[in-house]
Amino acid sequence: MPTINDVARAAGVSPSTVSYVLSGRRPISAETRARVQAAIAELGFHPHAGARALASSKTNVLALVAPLRLDVNVPVIMQFATAVVTAARSFNHDVLLLTKDEGTAGLERVAHSTMVDALILMDIERDDVRLPAIRRLKQPSVLIGMPADHAGIACVDLDFEAAAGLALRHLAGHGHRRIGLIGPSPAVYRRQTTYADRFLAGFLTASAELELRTVTHPCEPGADGVRAALADLDTELPGMTALVVHNEETLRPLLDLLRAAGRRVPEDISIVAVCPRDVAMSMPVNLTSIDIPAHDVGTLAVETAMRLLDGRRVEFTRLLEPGLVERSSCREIPPSHR
């Protein structure tokens, strides 16, 4: 890989002159600039991000901040990351992935070193400690999630409140009146992660509006956590005929436990899952589901960041409308059994 010294020798100038041509910090004669640029082209020299930033105030790099905590579903996070990377490339941008859970420190370190043009953040909490830092940064930020105080910050996400209502209306339309919710892990609720809080709020609101009997439970990771959550739901809601599952990792152990107990899906219990489409269709039963639109959300986050970088107006809150796909995991309850 050619270096700045190689370019200097080929152009017959000093390395500092090449640096000034790249950075634009000092006037260089047109003839010298042309020689340096010809040497750069001939050698295939690519200045690093810092040099490009000096020349154009842009790095053509976006930061994706996605803390990989113990209780996050990494495959789903990677679907969002893939969408962000793919969309960024269409704008000639690369993506710097930050996965360490370090609060504001990582944001400020990356932003102050002028490594990135903009930031996209995931795993947003209701009172996210990163918000004050985000508001101080010179680079624009886009949140995948919606904190309580999101004034002046661009937020994109699935409308999780509407998704919960859609799931309950679908089941109620099939005659189900006793419905349990298996939610994310208790740690996700303790952090007040916004997707979980918004889904739970929508579930409770729709349950009251539809006059349903419902019980909600978080679910610890692993088969033991699923077994405990299901046992609690059965105890607290006798005669439960349906489940809404807002926890992708519980789906397979849940189906295994139900099968081992002789409870058939959908004959004995119906299920609506909130998960990526490929997850719903990879289960032993093709699950009726509300898709987690990682591709659409990630793409929209990048497009919003690009509009902010260009100084164009954006809609600061974009919540995508959920859609439900009927497959094989819901049955109609006869009127005589409702």
Q: Is 130 helix (H, G, I), strand (E, B) or coil?
A: coil
Strands (DSSP E) along 173-241, which ranges?
A: 178-182, 213-217
Domain of residue 266: give its range: 160-293+324-337
> 179 and 286 share a domain?
yes
Q: Is there a contact between 291 and 276 (Cβ–Cβ < 8 Å)? A: yes
| pLDDT score, position 150 | 92
| pLDDT score, position 54 | 47
Q: Is there a contact between 182 and 254 (Cβ–Cβ < 8 Å)? A: yes
> 187 and 138 share a domain?
no
Cis (ω within 30 of 0) for the bond into 266?
yes
> 82 and 215 share a domain?
no
> 97 and 169 share a domain?
no
| CATH code, 25 | 1.10.260.40
State the burial class of residue 263 (Cβ atoms within 10 Å of its Cβ: 0-12, 13-18, 19+).
Answer: middle
| pLDDT score, position 25 | 61
Here the tokens at position 150 are 């999101």
Q: How far is residue 157's CA from residue 146's CA, in Å, rounded to a whole number?
A: 7
Angle (CA) 333 328 206, round 5° = 55
Q: Is 80 helix (H, G, I), strand (E, B) or coil?
A: helix
> 272 and 262 share a domain?
yes
Number of domains in the chain: 3
Nearest Cα to 250, choosing from 201, 204, 283?
283
> 35 and 84 share a domain?
no
Here the tokens at position 331 are 């049955």
Question: Residue 271 forms beta bridges with which residues?
Answer: 243
> 230 and 271 share a domain?
yes
Alpha carbon 207 to its chain centroid, in Å, reads 27
Q: How far is residue 243's CA from residue 250's CA, in Å, rounded to a whole number?
A: 12
| CATH code, 82 | 3.40.50.2300
> 104 and 68 share a domain?
yes
- The Cβ of residue 87 has, within 10 Å, a number of other Cβ atoms equal to 22
> 172 and 100 share a domain?
no
Here the tokens at position 149 are 């105080």
For the chain, the distance separating the N- and C-terminal CA atoms, rounded to the nearest angstrom, is: 72
Q: How far is residue 322's CA from residue 311's CA, in Å, rounded to a whole number?
A: 30
> 81 and 188 share a domain?
no
Q: Please list the pLDDT of the chain residue by residue as tens digits (338 residues).
A: 788 888 889 999 988 888 777 766 677 888 888 888 888 878 878 766 555 544 456 778 899 999 888 778 888 999 999 999 999 999 989 999 988 887 778 777 877 767 789 999 999 999 999 999 899 888 999 999 999 999 989 999 999 999 999 999 999 999 999 999 999 999 999 999 999 999 999 999 999 999 999 999 999 999 999 999 999 999 999 999 999 999 999 999 999 999 999 999 999 999 999 999 999 999 999 999 999 999 999 999 999 999 999 888 888 899 999 999 999 999 999 887 76
Question: Residue 117 forms beta bridges with which residues?
Answer: none
55 found inside a domain: no
> 153 and 300 share a domain?
yes
Question: Residue 325 forms beta bridges with which residues?
Answer: 289
